[in-house]
């Protein structure tokens, strides 16, 4: 029986865009595990109430339910030790942890300020009122105003990518010669943007864009099969 | 015969402040190696000409000369495999590499903009003309103007520390339960500031400041024995 993942989807059920669910997609592919990604919307709280909380990703693997992308990665690593490792040991897990915090504290706020209105335009109509209200409360202003200065946000965002850019001039993946969970964590941010917004985060010849393209090509181009905005 | 390190010093020869030399100090302590840190000034180019370049740190270990802090760490790791590892394997080295680029592209420019005038005030008088000219060329303005808005730079700098701060809420060192080379790379930035400037980079109760204090306490308080500005 394949693993089920409850996966944030837009009005188009093929549009899968949660940066956290993308971590899980890539982790499952990395481990060569069969899975079924069930489209889920922000307001489908009751559908995942069995997990004890209201956010995706949630996976169900036989009798086991796990929520939270990091906990899911740890679970997969422990439950499937014979499959390719997501972390390559304790030191690799520490690197992934730093990249996780870097992605969440530096990349996420900036990307959010560039694409939040484009996300709104592509989510399921039943989610729009919830999304607008909760995000406008967080930003303290209308979504239209949040993205108004996104060219300036992009300039700062591109500067903030410098450590990744420099690493990627030395090696093909953030985690070395091959991708590892830290790559998936950061890639989640770019997949989120790609699948919800036509706004280009980085020039096509940036070392980070070239890495993103390599990530899109992994596992027979798995992530690239999802529709870009 | 102990290892020699050519080590950037101020007017007070006890003031050792290069962020790159600090990486090497801590790496040598980590490996329990005896060393002698020879005070060197920016304009003492001929003193290290034997290394084929003009920057410190340079180490001389018997017949071997190594320049560049990263190359020195790699050398020490290979030459002294029986001593505690600086990297804990390939994955740990990759983490240190990301932290290196993060420190150099994000932390270094910001710290520099806060402390550059304080450094000028504490370097050897024979270095001051060279230092002012080269740094003012780099910044495109007088040192006094560079640091004028340092409170604003500090606010952004503190935000940029978010990934480290969050990691340090989960574990005592950037590299886990014990310090590793990635910690020394980032610590170099804080030792540089501590030893040249009274300007406080982070509040004393910040998780990053508490980590810096732990780093100062390592190896019987080695780094803390150097005079703070």
Three-class secondary structure of residue A160 per DSSP: helix
Taking residues B171-187, what's their average pLDDT? Answer: 96
A89 in contact with B at a CB cutoff of 8 Å? yes
Residue B38 lies in a domain: yes
Residue A84 lies in a domain: no
Task: Determine the pLDDT at residue A88.
Answer: 86
Domain end, chosen from B79, B113, B138, is at B79
pLDDT tens-digit profile of B71-90? 999 999 999 999 999 998 88
A163 in contact with B at a CB cutoff of 8 Å? yes
Task: Determine the pLDDT at residue A91.
Answer: 85
Q: Using the predicted structure, report yes or no on whether residue B136 has a pLDDT greater than 80.
A: yes
Bridge partners, A60 (sequence order) = A4, A65
Q: Do A97 and B174 touch (CB under 8 A)?
A: no
| Residue B65 exposure: Cα atoms within 13 Å on the Cβ side | 10
A90 in contact with B at a CB cutoff of 8 Å? yes
Residue A51 lies in a domain: yes
Q: pLDDT band at residue B6, thresholds of 50, 70 and 90?
A: very high
Mean residue pLDDT of chain B comes to 97
Helix H, strand E, coil C: the string for chain B is: CCEEEEEEECCCCCCECCHHHHHHHHHHHHCCCCEEEEEECCCCHHHHHHHCCCCCCEEEECCEEEECHHHHHHHHHHHCCCCCCCCCHHHHHHHHHHHHHHHHHHHHHHHHHHHHHHHHHHCCHHHHHHHHHHHHHHHCCCHHHHCCCHHHHHHHHHHHCHHHHHHHHHCCECCECCCCHHHHHHHHHHHHHHCCCCCCCCCCCCHHHHHHHHHHHHHHHCHHHCCCC
Q: Which residues does B113 contact at the CB level (< 8 Å), separation at least 6?
A: B139, B146, B147, B150, B153
Is A52 found in the same domain as A158?
no
Is A117 found in the same domain as A44?
no
Q: Do B91 and A175 touch (CB under 8 A)?
A: yes
| CA terminus-to-terminus distance, chain A | 32
Burial class of residue B134, CB neighbours in 10 A (0-12, 13-18, 19+)? exposed
Query: What is the residue range of B175's domain?
Result: 89-225
* Best B95, B110, B186, B189 residue to mutate vs chain A (most A CBs within 10 Å): B95
Closest in A94, A174, A175 to B176, CB measured: A94
Is A113 found in the same domain as A148?
yes
Could you tell me the CA-to-CA distances from B134 to A54, B91, B110, B140 in Å, in that order?
56, 37, 18, 10
Task: Determine the pLDDT at residue B109.
Answer: 97
What's the number of domains chain A is made of?
2
Measured in angstroms, the CA of B169 and the nearest CA of chain A are apart by 11
Residue A169 lies in a domain: yes
Is B114 found in the same domain as B206?
yes
Domain end, chosen from B36, B55, B79, is at B79
User: Distance between CA atoms of A179 and A99, rounded to whole angstroms?
Assistant: 13
Taking residues B144-154, what's their average pLDDT? Answer: 98
For the beta carbon of residue B203, count every other beta carbon within 10 angstroms.
9
Is A101 found in the same domain as A10?
no
The fraction of chain B above a pLDDT of 70, given in percent, is 100
A vs B, Cβ pairs < 8 A, gives: 82
User: Would you give the distance in Å from CA A141 to the centre of its chain?
Assistant: 25
Is B177 found in the same domain as B151?
yes
Is A100 found in the same domain as A71?
no
Q: pLDDT band at residue B168, thresholds of 50, 70 and 90?
A: very high
Task: Report residues of chain A scoring pLDDT below 70.
Answer: none
Is B75 found in the same domain as B93?
no
Domain end, chosen from A79, A107, A123, is at A79
Contacts of B165 in chain A (CB under 8 A): 105
Is B185 found in the same domain as B155?
yes
Is A157 found in the same domain as A72?
no
Task: Determine the pLDDT at residue A33.
Answer: 98
Find the closest chain A residue to B86 by CA distance.
A91
CATH label of the domain that carries residue B105: 1.20.1050.10
- Asked whether the beta carbons of A182 and A95 are under 8 A apart, the reply is yes
Residue A29 lies in a domain: yes
CATH label of the domain that carries residue B62: 3.40.30.10
The DSSP 8-state label assigned to residue A105 in this structure reads I
Measured in angstroms, the CA of B185 and the nearest CA of chain A are apart by 14
User: Distance between CA atoms of A149 and A19, rounded to whole angstroms?
Assistant: 23
Residue B166 lies in a domain: yes
**Rounded to the nearest 5°, which phi and psi values hold at B106?**
-110, -50
Residue B84 lies in a domain: no
Residues written for chain A: 229
Q: Using the predicted structure, report yes or no on whether residue B99 has a pLDDT greater than 80.
A: yes
Contacts of B97 in chain A (CB under 8 A): 167, 170
Is B218 found in the same domain as B129?
yes
Is B133 found in the same domain as B32?
no
Task: Determine the pLDDT at residue A200.
Answer: 97
Task: Determine the pLDDT at residue B103.
Answer: 98
Q: Do A98 and B95 touch (CB under 8 A)?
A: yes
User: Distance between CA atoms of A136 and A143, rounded to whole angstroms?
Assistant: 6
pLDDT tens-digit profile of A137-149? 999 999 999 999 9
């Amino acid at each position: 029986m394949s693993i089920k993942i409850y996966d944030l989807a837009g009005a188009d059920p093929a549009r899968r865009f949660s940066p956290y669910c993308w971590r899980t997609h890539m982790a499952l592919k990395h481990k060569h595990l069969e899975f079924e990604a069930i489209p889920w919307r922000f307001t489908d709280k009751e559908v995942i109430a069995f997990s004890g909380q209201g956010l995706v990703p949630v996976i169900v693997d036989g009798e086991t339910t796990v929520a939270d992308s990091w906990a899911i990665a740890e679970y997969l690593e422990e439950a499937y030790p014979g499959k390719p490792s997501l972390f390559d040991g304790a030191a690799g897990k520490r690197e992934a942890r730093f990249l996780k915090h870097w992605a969440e504290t530096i990349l996420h706020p900036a990307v959010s300020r560039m694409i939040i209105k484009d996300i709104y335009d592509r989510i399921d109509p039943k989610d729009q009122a919830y999304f607008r209200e909760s995000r406008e409360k967080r930003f303290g202003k209308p979504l239209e105003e949040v993205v108004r200065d996104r060219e300036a946000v992009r300039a700062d965002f591109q500067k903030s990518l410098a450590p990744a850019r420099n690493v990627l001039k030395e090696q093909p993946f953030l985690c070395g010669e091959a991708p590892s969970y830290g790559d998936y964590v950061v890639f989640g941010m770019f997949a989120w943007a790609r699948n919800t917004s036509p706004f280009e985060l980085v020039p096509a010849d940036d070392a980070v864009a070239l890495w993103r393209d390599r990530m899109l090509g992994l596992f027979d181009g798995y992530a690239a099969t999802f529709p870009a905005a």
